[in-house]
Amino acid sequence: MSLSIYQFSVFDYFFIAISIFFFLVLKIRKEFFLKFSGVFLFITILLYQLLWILKGLDITDEGYMLTKSWYMLHGMWKENIDILWGSTLFNGLWLSIIGKPLVIWERIGVVLLISSTYLIIFQILRNYFDTIKLFIIVFITNLFATSQLVYTLNYNNIPVFFVLVAILFMVKYIETDKKYFLILLGIFLSMALFSRFTFAIFLILPFPYIFYQYYFLKKNKKDLLKSIYNSIIGISIGVIIAITILIFTNSLGVYIDKIILKFGAIGSSEIINSHSSSELISRYIEDFWQIATFTFVFSILYFVPVIISKIKINKYYKVLLYILLGLLLYYFADIKRDSIKWQYIILSFIFSSLMLYSFFSKFDKRKSILVIISLGFMLFSFIGSDNGILMTIYSGSCVLAFCIALLSIESLKTTINNFEVRFDIPVYIILGFIVFLIIINKNNDVYRDRPRNELVVPFKTEALNGIYSHELRVNAVDSMVLAFNQISKNDQKTLAFGSNPMFHFITNSKPFLSNPWFFSLDDFNKKINANEFPDFIVFSKKNPRSINWPIFNEIIYNNEDSIDFNFLQEFIINNNYELVYSNSMFDIYASIYSIYQKDGENIIDGKNDELLDYFVPYNGNTKIMLDSSIIHKSKYSFKILSAQDDEIHGILKPNLLENEVYIFEAWVYFTSPNTLWVQMGGSISLYSQNIEAEKWTKIKCIKKVSDSRLLIGIPNLPSGEYILIDEIALYNVKKIKTY
């Protein structure tokens, strides 16, 4: 197996980082390193993460969060209020700093958040463990926890960061008994709540320890009440700030509705975060069974290197055996190229290490509290995620528990049958396994893109400056964006169908629906019924979830997606959308409103007093006359009424040319709510619009005609009711230049 340039990059980085580390520790002063170890850790992780942010493009998960966050502060605030809105707002504020969509800026923000998160974990643990060992393990943990990373500030990593900051203040309170730490703790817990509503469970974080102090440490009641008061004050400050924002943006009701919608269906088959509660519970049970099995096995295997260490053989043979154990572990984790088994192994080591530590060590109150907090955080942080417990790795919520587990078991010494037993060697094997696994797989851990050594072509799209992918993907995206920018306008909206939410961010085109990823037929029909149509519809022709697009033609639409896809295909035919651009990955369809404009004068003379000669009623019940009592702009309105309850319609005399496109405009006034339809050359060119009562409403339609007739009608006009029409107009059109 040959090592790629990216694997050598990891080696080089380790060599440089370790060299600097030992130089600081051994050559300068250990005290200097210990004093600034947090700064060194932050910079080291920051530099490591910056190595990888230029490679790869994912238009699915990454695009979803980027689009939501950007448009929350750019014209679609209410549409992006949901149970995760705090995370969206936090990311939107970061994106808005530079004032334009830019993917690389988002990734820099992610790297800063990762570095800050691990610094917080380091600060939480530095008074519990040896600083140098802690430094090494936190850094190595950062390697696996950021593998196959989705580079967005999102509803997974943002609330985890807030809770970890709260835990840091909790630890500060435990160590100092200073009550103001409880206020700060409460503020960050409330920030986590609004960033991910399922994190509401962590609002109880300070209270178990407060009551523990009262009942077991014999704190007085005054201290108890003061601690509770400060915790509630902190939580209330954060909640009040969030609710104030919602009230001033007139979106508190929207937020409450979203909470009811998401959690009012627990126990039923309704959708919660796109997955039913029964599906999530089934996934979680499967995860825990897998981890329980691995935990049992690894609890036994922990003793294998311990036994080897007691065998009287040459120390070099022992080292070879330890290396062999690490390679066997790697083989087991990577067998059949299983991309997630190693993650179950990592999580299982947490439980097996803590089980052995609790069994063989003396009770340590300080450390036990920390273990309970870290395990509770890990085990409740993934609720609501379809990724199950593996989300604790993707979000980083398992890192605190992992570091505690390895550091605790590494320092454990016990005696079994008069033999001294140490578990440091198994820990070193685990750490070596992690480093080896990351180095070997680093070339292939780009999220939903090809191996790193193939990602050498830069994008030319402005929003993707600095990002690299393979040539076919770059060409597909760049050419699509170039074409779209030539035919679109700033105020137009687009429906991107087929797992392509990134489209809106890189083209700065507003989504037609509030959710830029998942297509909702109900939401779509509501907009159509309100006479709102997407200006453009973009289809993905191949599966964006695949690492290979657009190289291979992999299945993109499942059964449910196929229904929506067929519906939209029928919709674009019935509404005269035209294919204006196509490449190997994307099709762009444009509404005829977007690609045609008026050409020439009004074909129908705009003087309403002459329309009596233009309009020919279809039946005897239809009466026409002029009216001056209610007008819009002209001297007279054109009045149509019916002698009895009946459908009324008639023909406007101008003859239309078949297969030509026309724009029809008019202002209409109904005495009661009704529907006006316009048929421009055949039933296939029918347009209808619901009209409110006693209000002038403008209608506008553009159609490609199939015969020469222009008809206007009302399905049923009650006797005595009437409609008024003013400023009626018909125009020829010309096509705007398309790509």
What span, in angstroms and rounded, lies between the C-alpha atoms of 585 and 733? 31
Cis status, amide bond into 206, omega within 30 of 0: no
pLDDT surpasses 90 at 252: yes
What span, in angstroms and rounded, lies between the C-alpha atoms of 572 and 580? 12
CB 222 within 8 A of CB 176: no
pLDDT surpasses 90 at 261: no
Give residue 269's pLDDT: 38
**Which of these, 108, 105, 106, 139, lies nearest to 37 by C-alpha position?**
139
DSSP calls for 243-283? HHHHHHTT-HHHHHHHHHHHHTTTTSS-EETTEEHHHHHHH
Provide the H-helix boundaries in 625-739. Answer: none
What span, in angstroms and rounded, lies between the C-alpha atoms of 499 and 295? 37
684 inside domain:
yes
Q: How far is CA 654 from CA 78, 604, 623, in A?
A: 45, 7, 20
What span, in angstroms and rounded, lies between the C-alpha atoms of 537 and 582? 12
pLDDT surpasses 50 at 456: yes
| Of 608-622, 675-689, 698-712, minimum mean pLDDT range | 608-622
Using a pLDDT cut of 70, give the percent of the chain over it.
Answer: 89
CB 100 within 8 A of CB 505: no
In the numeric block, which tokens belong to residue 403? 């570091």
Q: Which domain holds residue 700?
A: 598-735
718 inside domain:
yes
pLDDT mean over 551-555: 76
| Half-sphere exposure in the Cβ direction for 383 (13 Å, CA) | 15
pLDDT mean over 140-149: 83
pLDDT mean over 13-18: 63
Q: Which of 1-10, 187-196, 328-337, 591-600: highest mean pLDDT?
A: 187-196
What span, in angstroms and rounded, lies between the C-alpha atoms of 582 and 739? 10
CB 729 within 8 A of CB 665: yes
CB 350 within 8 A of CB 398: yes
pLDDT surpasses 80 at 71: yes
Give residue 272's pLDDT: 40
**Which of these, 716, 111, 54, lies nearest to 446 by C-alpha position?**
54
71 inside domain:
no
Specify the 3-state DSSP secondary structure of 534.
Answer: coil
| Of 21-30, 340-349, 617-626, minimum mean pLDDT range | 21-30
CB 576 within 8 A of CB 592: yes
Give residue 9's pLDDT: 64
CB 409 within 8 A of CB 353: yes
Give residue 325's pLDDT: 86
In this prediction, residue 270 has a pLDDT band, given cuts at 50, 70 and 90, of very low
pLDDT mean over 303-321: 82
User: Exposed, middle or buried by CB within 10 Å (0-12, 13-18, 19+), for 308?
Assistant: middle
What span, in angstroms and rounded, lies between the C-alpha atoms of 343 and 328? 16
Give residue 102's pLDDT: 97
584 inside domain:
no
In this prediction, residue 445 has a pLDDT band, given cuts at 50, 70 and 90, of confident
Give residue 8's pLDDT: 56
pLDDT surpasses 70 at 209: yes
- Please name the residues in contact with 191: beta carbons below 8 A apart, sequence gap of 6 or more: 86, 159, 162, 238, 242
Extended strands (E) in 290-440: 413-416, 419-422
633 inside domain:
yes
pLDDT mean over 248-273: 72
Give residue 275's pLDDT: 60
pLDDT surpasses 90 at 581: yes
56 inside domain:
no
For the chain, what is the mean pLDDT? Answer: 86
pLDDT mean over 46-74: 94
133 inside domain:
no
pLDDT mean over 118-137: 93
pLDDT surpasses 60 at 351: yes
pLDDT surpasses 50 at 187: yes
| Of 591-600, 661-670, 704-713, minimum mean pLDDT range | 704-713
pLDDT surpasses 50 at 255: yes
**Is the pTM for the entire model greater than 0.75?**
yes
**Which of these, 215, 186, 213, lies nearest to 202 by C-alpha position?**
186
pLDDT surpasses 90 at 144: no
User: 411 or 194: whose pLDDT is higher?
Assistant: 194
pLDDT surpasses 90 at 63: yes
Give residue 735's pLDDT: 80
| Of 372-381, 486-495, 618-627, minimum mean pLDDT range | 618-627
User: 735 or 577: whose pLDDT is higher?
Assistant: 577
728 inside domain:
yes
Give residue 215's pLDDT: 78
Instruction: Indicate which CATH number applies to the domain containing 628.
Output: 2.60.120.260
**Which of these, 622, 627, 625, lies nearest to 643 by C-alpha position?**
622
Rounded to an integer, what is the distance from CA 446 to the centroid of its chain?
Answer: 17
| Of 13-17, 290-294, 536-540, minimum mean pLDDT range | 13-17
What span, in angstroms and rounded, lies between the C-alpha atoms of 22 and 541? 53
Overall number of domains in the chain:
1
| Of 282-286, 390-394, 656-660, 661-665, minimum mean pLDDT range | 656-660
What span, in angstroms and rounded, lies between the C-alpha atoms of 278 and 270? 9
Categorise residue 681: left if φ over 0, alpha if ψ from -120 to 50, beta otherwise: left
pLDDT surpasses 70 at 605: no
Give residue 21's pLDDT: 66
